[in-house]
Amino acid sequence: MKSTINEVFSAVHDERVYQDRKWGNPDQHPHEVGGYITLMRKLLNDAEVAWCTSRGDDGALDELRKVVAVGVACMEQHGVAPRKPVDFAALQPDQFTAVRAEDAKSARPTECPHGGSFVYCEVCPVSVCPMGLGLGVQKGC
């Protein structure tokens, strides 16, 4: 089931409220950036374990909401590193290379068992294996 960006932001906001009530806000319970990264890594591991068990996607998404909210708490305490406007300017639509889906599917199929839904083309760099088990980076999307 897909969600709108507003639904996502609402769920993350609600998780932040929950975390603040449970643990205290970042002013009451501060961490270094590295501490937040460690918490996020632990929660991301929980998401991976959930995904690999009977909890599946729902369990993993439940944990991912927590990961994202902890990242938000980190930025609340330490500030945000916003994307520079020049980065957006570099992504002008006339610079995109269009690839028809039919052409991309036949261009380079993957043999990676983890990449069954991935379609490779000649434009985008991606790892051969989405889990990082491939041999370097090839072009694809």
Convert the pLDDT of each residue in 107-130 to its tens digit. 444 444 444 444 444 445 444 444
Q: What are phi and psi of 137, to 5 degrees?
A: -110, 135
More confident call, 9 vs 109? 9
Helix count and strand count (H, E) for the chain: 5, 2
| pLDDT value for 93 | 58
Confidence band of 42 (pLDDT split at 50, 70, 90): very high
The number of beta carbons lying within 10 Å of the beta carbon of residue 87 is 9
**Domain segments of the chain: what residues?**
5-78, 91-139
Whether the pLDDT of residue 40 is over 90: the answer is yes
25 exposure class (CB count in 10 Å sphere: 0-12, 13-18, 19+): middle
